[in-house]
Amino acid sequence: MNREKRLAVIGLAVGAAAAGWFGLQPARPLPAAGEVKVGAYAVSGAEAPAPATTIHEPPQHNPELDSARQLLHDGKKFEARAMLTKLILPAPEGPARGEMRKMLDAINKELFFSSKPSPDSVSYEVQPGDTLAVIVQNQAKGSNQGKDYYFTEVVMLVNGITDAKRIRPRQRLKIPQGTFSAVVQKDARRLIILLNGDYIKEYPVGLGAAESATPEGKFVLDVGKAKDPDWTAPDGHLYKYGDPKNILGTRWMPFTDVEGHHGLGIHGTTDPKSIGEDVSNGCVRMLNADVEEIFGMLAPGDTVEITK
C-alpha cells in the first residue's frame, strides 16, 4: 500500500475512534410532518410538548404581617398583638402561622405572663390586712372574673406567687382586666384563650368521637366549675374522682345546656394520649396541666366558640 493510501486509512480509523470516544452519533432523520419527537421516538398526530421548566413561586408577602413585625420592632407590643390576633385566628397551618405564634408567645411572655405593667391590667399596692381574694374581687369589678374565686390563680400566675397567703404590704400586684373567652378550632384540635379578643395562648385538645362529635357554635360557661371532679357517665353511673373510670382528669368547666346539647364542657383527662384525637363524648378534652392553667381564666358567663 502506498503512503497516501496508508494515511487515508489511518485518518478514517482515528475519526471513527474519536466519534466513539466523544459519544457522537450519526444524525437521526427529522420527524415527518405530523410527528413529534419524544426522546428517540417519533409519535404521530401530536403537538410538540413544551420543554420542562421548574417554576419557583416568589414568597407571598402579607402587608399586615409586615406591619406587625414593624410594630414589634418599634416596641409597640400591645398593638402588634392585636394585629397578630386578627391574622392568626383564620390562618391556615404553615410557616407563616408558626411565625405568628412565636411572635405572640414572645409578646405575651411580657404582656400577660409576667408582673410587668401592661395596658390591659391594673397595678395594685397591697395594703395591711389585704387578702388576695378580696383584692381580686375589688380590682376585677365589672367582669365575670371578679365574681369567680378561681381568678386569684391567674393573678398568682402572672405575679409569680406560689402561696396566696404570702403577699406583703406595699407589694405591687398586676391584675389583668377585661373578659376572657376561648375559641376551639376543631380541624386543628386546639383551644385559643383570648383576653378582650386578643390572643393569649393556645393549647392542644381532644374532641368528640364520630358518634358523639363536638358540636359547633357559641357556648357559655356555666356555674359548677370543679377541681378534682366526680363524673356522671352517660348511663347515669357516678364515678368518684380518682376512680380509673373517671375520665375528667383534674378539672371540669361546664357549658350551659342548650337544646340538643347537654352535659358538655371542658375538662382534663386520665389519658394524655387522647389529646389530638376524636374520642370523647363530645366535650373538649385537655391535658391536666393545660386545663389547670386556664381554669382561673374562664369564668361563668364567658363564651367558648367552637368552630370548624
The residues carrying an active-site annotation are 267, 283
Bridge-based pairing of strands 238-239 and 231-232 is antiparallel
Grid cell at residue 104: 405572640
Decide if 112 contacts 263 (C-beta within 8 A): no
SS3 95: helix
Q: Which helix (H) or strand (E) holds 173?
A: strand 172-176
Grid cell at residue 191: 383551644
Helices (H), 222-305: 288-294
| Separation of alpha carbons 78 and 237, rounded Å | 48
Please enumerate in sequence order all residues whose Cβ is within 8 A of that of 137, keeping only pairs 6 or more positions apart, or say none. 146, 147
Q: Which helix (H) or strand (E) holds 151?
A: helix 151-159
| Separation of alpha carbons 206 and 46, rounded Å | 55
Torsion angle, alpha carbons of 72, 91, 220, 106, to 10: -30
Q: In angstroms, what CA-CA distances link 26 with 16, 140, 208?
A: 11, 90, 70
Residue whose grid cell is 408567645: 105
Bridge-based pairing of strands 303-307 and 180-185 is parallel
Decide if 295 contacts 250 (C-beta within 8 A): no
| N-to-C CA span, the chain | 93
Decide if 196 contacts 121 (C-beta within 8 A): no
In DSSP terms, which residues pair with 201 in a beta bridge?
193
